[in-house]
Amino acid sequence: FRHLPESETSFEGYIQTQDGMFIRIWLAKAPILLIWAANDPTVPIERGVALQRIARHADLHVLGDASHW
């Protein structure tokens, strides 16, 4: 997607760069609201989807015409 290199789109690669963030998200007991920009060239929507999969109580809302800035 969007001509990004594999290192930017690989969920496994993303996990390795986050230094413990995923464990904290997975252990969270409170609801988590993820708000993502559909056209974000910096942090692709696939990362938001991946975070939603590992967070037990997460809702993902995507803003259709939004970008990173």
pLDDT means per 10 residues, the chain with 69 residues, are 63 66 76 90 84 87 85
CA angle, 32 then 68 then 6, to 5°: 85
**Among the residues of 1-69, which ranges form H helices?**
6-9, 11-17, 21-27, 45-54
pTM for the predicted model, two decimal places: 0.64
DSSP 42: S
Cα distance between residue 46 and residue 41, in whole Å: 11
pLDDT at residue 48, rounded to an integer: 86
